[in-house]
Amino acid sequence: MDDDWICGRLGEDEPWVLGAVNPPVYENSVFTFETAEELGEAIKNEDERYVYWRGTNPTVDLAQRKLAALERGERAKCFGSGMGAISATISSLVSAGDHVLVLGAVYGPTTQFLRYLEKFGVTHTHVEDLAQCDSAIRGSTRLLYFESPSYMAYQVVDIAGITAWAREHGLVTVMDNTWSTPLFQKPLTMGVDLVVHSLSKYIGGHSDLVGGVVVGPARLVRPLALTEYQLYGAAMSPHDAAKVIKGLRTLPVRMAAHQERGLAVAAFLNDHPGVRAVNHPGLPSHPGHAVALRQMSGFSSLFSVELDTESREKVAAFLDKLRYFRIGVSWGGFESLVNAPALSTEESVRATMGIPVGLVRLSVGLEPADTLIKDLGLALEGLVA
């Protein structure tokens, strides 16, 4: 099935749409039935039947169908936030006494949630590579969680290799695929069991949405849709689902532009004397570039650079001199954003995550690359001087 068609047309020609160019937004919280028996049957299948907004809704369901098709998965479940999807997914797979392996750097709140689970008897271990997985796995290990490219460092994981190892040891694998989007990387086709996304980033694409999704086989998605999704209450609203649908329509065009601009900016910084390193998997100099080319069809525009300084003050001054890059968290929208973790992260936490003082994260938006390169060049002049 063609990804462009999925993004733009899948499900939008069905009778319930009534020929509307934009699929209807079903705002009602409750759906009624002709008989009590019909209601009873619907409640048993509330992940698929329209009963109450907290279960699902036609607008949300359309977004879910598109996302499942893009990831080549059987089922998708949308949540009110990325962390809603991540926390529900992890919770559905572990019980008291279980152990989780975390491969590489992952989103900070994901680690916080795993620490939160410790009070319920679920432990976790962070490992850097497959060799450490071999030494860290326990009899109680149930889950392997990772991102590729990884959080902040943007290291590339050999997805097929790590999932083969996990299957050999009876582990379920969950991967955060937000960086690549389903257009540039399809982890389910490489053996990953469940994929999660923050829909707030590239898929939404306009910095006006908070949402998340989990995609995978029905045998894993349906239980969490009926249990954790319902009990945690992180339901996606139909209005946010409509934004997801609209974001998907332009996703192929936007991602092509993000890739072009991101690589141009990364190449400029890679040659700049004020920059020690550029962590972008699309650059031939990146240590994971060959693996990335094998398992990805493109590159997004989120990456990090290490400035040639150990001074927090100089890092802050660099950010303050930027005019087109705005200072802020999140990423994936039209606007270019910059953030320096060392300025807002406790030193002990930063040291644990291996984040140097000079690390700066750039989200290259859709402004002209020349404009962004000039902006960075002017800000770097003071750093080199």
Closest C-alpha among 261, 215, 283 to residue 363: 261
Let me know if 201 is a catalytic residue: yes
Let me know if 324 is a catalytic residue: no
Question: 149: Cβ–Cβ under 8 A, 6 or more apart, which residues?
Answer: 155, 156, 157, 179, 180, 281, 288, 292
**Parallel, antiparallel, or unpaired: how do β-strands 337-339 and 326-327 relate?**
parallel
Of 176, 193, 240, 375, which residue is the catalytic one?
Answer: 176
Half-sphere exposure of 178 (CA within 13 A, CB side): 33
Of 107, 145, 151, 154, which residue is the catalytic one?
Answer: 107
Three-class SS of residue 45?
coil
* Structure-token pair, residue 352: 């644990």
CA distance 297 to 303: 17
* Structure-token pair, residue 158: 């050999």
Let me know if 312 is a catalytic residue: no
Of 201, 243, 261, 361, which residue is the catalytic one?
Answer: 201
- Which residue has tokens 């290259």? 364
Let me know if 370 is a catalytic residue: no
* Structure-token pair, residue 224: 């969490």
Question: 134: Cβ–Cβ under 8 A, 6 or more apart, which residues?
Answer: none
Q: Distance from CA of residue 116 to its chain's centroid?
A: 21
Of 49, 52, 54, 374, which residue is the catalytic one?
Answer: 54
Cβ atoms of residues 195 and 144 within 8 Å = no
The residues that are catalytic are 54, 107, 176, 201
